Structure formats: structure tokens, C-alpha cells
Chain A
């Protein structure tokens, strides 16, 4: 018993790089004397310890999980875990979400035309093993599982992403082949993310799901990924173990100890003390610098960033007057908002669709050429307000979330608009309350923070009639353009249509894009993710079979 305790302690000390003195102090706390520690350590075979694969301990900024059913997972804390347990037919290349490569499928297919309809055919890899669960055995994934999964993803009763799969018919050809027949053709840019490792695209194995039941699957899932679900400790952690039957090979890690730690200082201390290997960091340039100056740790800043923009209700008085909206645009400064996060965390954007992350956005040069940059000009803004008949300004009530990303941007907005006589009475409410209130139309000016995987989703959800209560601008001028772009299969032509739509939004002063806020994580220098960190749609560094921890 004592030896096992010592073995655990020595492993821990080795991983954390504790000094001999610290090791003895920790042993003393556990009731192990220094001589007993020394004797036991000499008996231990060093090779046996070294051969063990380490477990990666990662801390997320969350109180608990919400759902590990990939078709419901929405928060970063859930998306990251889901990504380690499940696969898509294709996947965003690890570390670089701008590229798509095969995952459960053997290749990324080209669409074909069958009877006037677009058809995508996927051939599955051989011997993809579904994880064993307490209620179902491991088995080989087949086309039946894929068909089941996409039908589940398209069903409002079993998926939060059902809307993304309407007009798509999925069918089994044989055990290894499935087809997706589309009512309306889509470009690869729009279709492939639907079958990739993101949201509804994750393949949920039928037998495992049915054996566990829908409710249990939310906290104890089974997929085909490099790590298998092992246990869930509410409010504390989720443990995953290596899937040694993984089709890409045995993971270099023994497993994942995934902790929920809301408090940023606690996460930071846990990283510095060696209790944790990877933490979700603070989205601040200063914090990144501080961590990079600390011994043994490194901060990583990477995409995909969440776009932050201001949306103006073009139907609400007095914002229905384009001059008032123009005045607002001229009162704002992107730099003020970027400064809240600092470089390299904050990056300016010139259209709501971030050009850095996906086709369809406007670069600075393109925005300048189109005349939609709108540099800050307070005098001209005041003059425009006078021309609109509101020379003395006016007061509006806005609600903001207590979360920093929202609150601090609203406070800067309050300051900026105050300079042109527009007074904002800002009320801070709980995050969930803000989302409900802005959807009910309480804010004529809405600052929103979001990542969406394609330009179509950004534009449809926030700037078209189809967007419903998230079209905060009550804007309809690009409805047709977005619909046309969606069915355009030529990638260049499609991107041009989205850029035109973005330009139109800005010309109508329906929105003012501020920045993208990149992801910030910090890790022990011993952690190697196994890939570059450029952009990752799952909003974490991407942990897979190639991730390792050096001793």
C-alpha cells in the first residue's frame, strides 16, 4: 500500500519536475517518512515507470459539462471532449481548420449529378472500432451507423443542429458506402463542414447510442475517436482513456484527465504548480506575455477566433435613419475594442465574416476599396446626427451580459457614443438573461460575440430574414444574395457573392465589425500537441493520438 502511494507520488514529482525537497514535503503530508521514501524509490524499477504513457491533464474554464452528445454539445468545454471521442466522415486538418481531409471516410469525395440532384458518396475505412461501453460491446462501424447518425442530427428531437441537415437525404449503399443526396446543390465549402468533425457532423454509433439511451449518452458517450469515455465526476472532471484500437494508431497518451476549473487564477496556479498540463487561458495579450515569461510553460494564441461586432436595428427609431447609423459608425474605433484584448489575442476585422478564417470576408484592402472602413470622425458624426434631427443626442437603454467579452465592449461603446451625445443606459444582466432579452428585441444596438464555421452561417443567422430572432439588425437587403451564394457551387464565385453581401451590410450601416478574439491556451513545455496551432474550430488546441508529454 505504502509502495503504491510512493510510486504515484514519484510519478507525479517526475511530471511536475518537483525538487527532492518538495517531494519529501509532499511525502510527509501523506505520512511517508523520508527514509521510507528513499528505500522504496531504490526498489522501484525506473524503466517500468518510464515506459508508462502519461495522462494529459487539461483544465477548462467551465463549471461542469452540459452535454457530450455531439449533436447537442455547444459550449467549448463540451466541444473539446466530443472531439477527442468522436470522428466525422471528413475532418478539419488538426491544427488548421482551413483544410479538410478524410476521417472515417477513405477520401474526400467530389459531388456527382444524379438525376439532376447533387450526390456525395463516401466510402468508409475498414475496421473502425466503436468504443465498448458498459452496455454495448465494441464493434466495427458500418454505413448503418453513419445513416443513423445523420438522421439523428437532422431530427429536432435528438439534435440542436437539425436545421443544418434539412434537404439532405442520407442512404446506405452497402456496409461501406453511404450517399448524401441534396435537394439543392452546395459547394464543398458549405457541404463538407456538415459531415466533418463539428456539431452534427460527428458520427454517433447506433448500437452504443441505443444501448446507453439518449439521456445517459449526454454524460457517458461512446464514439470511434482516439480516446474512450471512462468516467464523469460532476463539477469536477471527465476521465478518458486511450483507445488502443484507434484506426490511426495507438495514442501516445494513456488518457485525458479533463478538469472543470472556472476560476482563472486557480487554473494558472495549477499549471504553474504542475498539477495541470494544459489550461484555457485569459484572452489578454498581457497574460500571454506573463505566461511566456514563466518557467516551464508556454502560452499559445491561435484561431479560430470569435468575431465581435455591433449590429444596429435598421427598423427601430431613430436608427431607421441611415444618417444616425452612419453617425454611429463614425463614432466608433476598432482600435479601442482591439485594445481590450491586446495583440496577438485581438485582431481587427473589416466585415462580420472574418477574412482571416474563411472565404467570403473582406480584407482591409478590400474594405478600403469598397469604402466601408469608416475611420473614426466625431465631428462628422455629430453633423450627421444634426442632419437627422437629433442634434442634442438621445438616450437608449441596453442590456449586456456580465461576461467580460460583452460587458467591456459595451462599456467602450458607451464611451464612444457618449462623445456624439448618444447616452447609453447600460444594464448588466446574467449571460443567459442577456441572450433571451436581445432575442426579444430589447437592444436596438447589439454587440455579439460568436464563431460560425462558414460565411453562409454568419450571414444567414445574423443578417437575413431566415435568421429570425438572431437577425438583430432586422435586415433583409441580402436575403436573395445569401440564398444565391448558398447554391453556387463555384467556390470563387460563391466567395465573391458573400463579399458583396458583407459590403452591402456595411454600406447600409447595419453592422460595424470590431475584431476577432483568438483562442488562448497555456501548456507545460513538455506537452507537444503533435500539430501546428493555426486555427481549430473545436475551440481548443486539438488533442489526438499524436499528442504527447515528454518526461
Chain B
């Protein structure tokens, strides 16, 4: 296993290099200038030229690339071209908020999605199944942006149960959880629908397997058949899906972060793209790539736990 992890980490290096190079080129090809974004449209061309010089944007692209890769090799992600704060500091600040939101959303999705999927599969073609499917379809169809706004309207503006906006301080657990509830449910609902539908579909396959029929024929209670034989087998493909969902949630969280005015990695990336903050954008993409690599390794490890047949050695 350790060898496998080490091999995956080694393979991550060329992946990172490719990602960084593509991002470096793309952000410089699209129109827009960080110096203009930083100074505003009022600034004179002289002021823009001066700032470009200070930011090193007047150098040839390949020189900028070499400088950047050299800094990256030394673990330096650079400073924001807009507010001149170290990129790593800003990422370190927002990352816990994104991870917190994603983790809470995944937890909600698992807690609601798996039982719903199992129940709708077991009660196939009954009103339970129909209701579950309708709700999961609704969850898939509702844009998180809109759901978030509805939640804010009802649970914050009308009922006053939760704050409409913001993210709590990690030192105040109560307040932090209070601000987390609505965004996490908003983000988690879509994944709940995915997981419920996926679980149902996998469960239907598993329930028709010979070993399940054998278990029933042996006279095992339905509860035991489901918990010991069916659900455990159905979890294997779901584990890998949860990994993919986690990656997509980290990326998709930007909409929820925007609606609830929470700090987050997605919002940082979109802000950097809008302002043509090259260094910040590159830094965020490096971190995204690292997160994806780590999640994939974690999924590989969990796979060996839920499916003893899987061995990487």
C-alpha cells in the first residue's frame, strides 16, 4: 500500500507540472490585465505600465514562466497581484471553510442519500420508491444557487433561525455551526439526490444477485440480509463515487459560497480569474490539483477497507 501511495505521489508531479503550465499559459492568453484590474479604469496608461513593471509583467512570457517555476520549486506560490498578500496565506485562510462546507455537505448527503437509496430499492415500485425518486429528481433539478436563496429567504429573513450570510469563527463552535447549516444543506441536497439514485440503482442489482437469494433461502432475517450482505456490497461503487462527488463539491461550492457570502477556495479562484490575478489563480489551481490527488489516494485506501479483494501490492 505504501509503495502504491508513493507511486501515486510521484505520478502527481508531472500532473502538477502540466496543470501549472496550462494555467500559466491560459490566463496570459485571455484578454485582461491585472495591472488595470488593480488600479481601476481611472488609472492612466503610465500608471498601468509602471505597475506592470513592478509585477514583472513587462518581461517576456518565458522569463515569467521560468521565474514562476523556480519559485514554485522552492515552495513559493507568490503574492497576489492585486492586494500583494502572499497567496499561500489567503489559501490557508479560506481552505478550512471550503473543507468544512464540503465535509458537512458530504456527511448530509451520505446520511440522507444512502438510506433513501436503500429504502427505495427495497420498496421498489411502491409509494415509498416513487416519493423517494421524485424527491431525488427534484434535488438533481434544483440549482444550488436558487435553493440557497430560498433557504435564506425562509430560514433567515422570515423565520430568523439562522444567519442569512457569513461564516462563523472556528473558535466559536456554536456560531460556526449556525452559519454552516444552511450552506451545507444547500450544497448537500444535490449530492443527496445523486447518492440516493446511485444507491438505489446499485442496490437493485445487488438484491437480484445469487448470494442474496441464497441468504434469504437460508432463512436469514431480511434485516440481516440487507445489512450484512446487500448494503456492504453496494457500498463499494458508492465509495469511489463519494470521492468524485467530494472533488466536484469543492469545485461547485463557489455558488453556495457566493450566495451565503462565505470565504472559500472556489470564490477565491473566481475572484482571481475576474481580476486576472495570475499568481493567485495559479496558486489556487496547484492546491486544487493537490486536493484531487489526495482524495484519490484516500479513496484507494478506503477501497481496500470496504472490499477485501482489492490489493495494491
**Chain B nearest CB: distance from A274 CB in Å?**
8
Q: How far is the CA of A180 from the CA of B260 in the complex (A)?
A: 49
B32 interfacial by beta-carbon distance below 8 Å: yes
A160:B47 contact, CB within 8 angstroms: yes
Surface stretch bound by A, among B70-78, B160-168, B245-253, B298-306: B160-168
| Contact for B263 among A234, A274, A429, CB less than 8 A | A234
Q: Name the CB-closest residue of A to B271.
A: A63
A412 interfacial by beta-carbon distance below 8 Å: no
Given contacts A75-B40, A269-B149, A437-B31, contact A30 B261 (CB under 8 A): no
* In the complex, chain A residues 348-374 whose Cβ is within 8 Å of any chain B Cβ: none
Q: Which residues of B contact A266 (CB under 8 A)?
A: 149, 152, 164-165, 258-261
Q: Which residues of B contact A162 (CB under 8 A)?
A: 44, 46-47
Given contacts A64-B271, A263-B258, contact A72 B39 (CB under 8 A): yes
Q: Which residues of A contact B45 (CB under 8 A)?
A: 439, 468-469
A436:B178 contact, CB within 8 angstroms: no
Q: How far is the CA of A410 from the CA of B79 in the complex (A)?
A: 36
| Contact for A468 among B31, B32, B44, CB less than 8 A | B44
B274:A63 contact, CB within 8 angstroms: yes
Q: How far is the CA of A218 from the CA of B84 in the complex (A)?
A: 8
| Contact for A29 among B31, B83, B162, CB less than 8 A | B162
A531 interfacial by beta-carbon distance below 8 Å: no
B284 interfacial by beta-carbon distance below 8 Å: no
A431 interfacial by beta-carbon distance below 8 Å: yes
Q: Which residues of B contact A16 (CB under 8 A)?
A: 160
B156 interfacial by beta-carbon distance below 8 Å: yes
B43:A26 contact, CB within 8 angstroms: no
A219 interfacial by beta-carbon distance below 8 Å: yes
Q: Name the CB-closest residue of A to B41.
A: A435
B37 interfacial by beta-carbon distance below 8 Å: yes
A477 interfacial by beta-carbon distance below 8 Å: no
A272:B157 contact, CB within 8 angstroms: yes
A235 interfacial by beta-carbon distance below 8 Å: yes
Q: Which residues of B contact A66 (CB under 8 A)?
A: 37-38, 82-83, 275
Q: Please, what's the 1-or-0 string for B251-276, where 1 marks a CB less than 8 Å from any CB in chain A?
A: 00000001111111001101100111
A386 interfacial by beta-carbon distance below 8 Å: no
A432 interfacial by beta-carbon distance below 8 Å: yes
A160:B43 contact, CB within 8 angstroms: yes
A501 interfacial by beta-carbon distance below 8 Å: no
| Contact for A269 among B31, B41, B153, B263, CB less than 8 A | B153
B167:A236 contact, CB within 8 angstroms: yes
B165:A259 contact, CB within 8 angstroms: yes
| Contact for A275 among B84, B93, B166, CB less than 8 A | B166
Q: Which residues of B contact A469 (CB under 8 A)?
A: 45
Q: Which residues of B contact A67 (CB under 8 A)?
A: 38, 82-83
Q: Please, what's the 1-or-0 string for B155-179, where 1 marks a CB less than 8 Å from any CB in chain A?
A: 0110111111111000000110010
**Chain B nearest CB: distance from A383 CB in Å?**
37
A322 interfacial by beta-carbon distance below 8 Å: no
A450 interfacial by beta-carbon distance below 8 Å: yes
* In the complex, chain A residues 149-173 whose Cβ is within 8 Å of any chain B Cβ: 156-157, 159-163
B296 interfacial by beta-carbon distance below 8 Å: no
A430:B261 contact, CB within 8 angstroms: no
B107 interfacial by beta-carbon distance below 8 Å: no
Q: Please, what's the 1-or-0 string for A230-249, where 1 marks a CB less than 8 Å from any CB in chain B?
A: 00011111000000000000
A261 interfacial by beta-carbon distance below 8 Å: yes
A432:B161 contact, CB within 8 angstroms: no
B94 interfacial by beta-carbon distance below 8 Å: yes
* In the complex, chain B residues 22-76 whose Cβ is within 8 Å of any chain A Cβ: 30-33, 36-47, 50-51, 54
Given contacts A236-B262, A266-B260, contact A432 B38 (CB under 8 A): no
Q: How far is the CA of A452 from the CA of B90 in the complex (A)?
A: 33
Q: Which residues of A contact B42 (CB under 8 A)?
A: 74, 160-161, 199, 450, 452
Identify 26 residue pairs between A and B in the complex whose beta-carbon atoms are under 8 Å apart, listed by A's number: A5-B174, A16-B160, A22-B159, A26-B161, A63-B267, A72-B39, A156-B46, A157-B54, A159-B47, A160-B42, A218-B83, A233-B263, A234-B93, A235-B264, A236-B261, A261-B165, A262-B258, A266-B259, A266-B261, A270-B156, A270-B165, A270-B261, A275-B163, A430-B31, A432-B274, A435-B36
Name B's A-contacting residues (CB within 8 A): 30-33, 36-47, 50-51, 54, 79, 82-85, 90, 93-94, 149, 152-153, 156-157, 159-167, 174-175, 178, 181, 258-264, 267-268, 270-271, 274-276
The 4 residue pairs across chains A and B that have the minimum distance between CB atoms: A74-B40, A432-B32, A433-B31, A22-B160
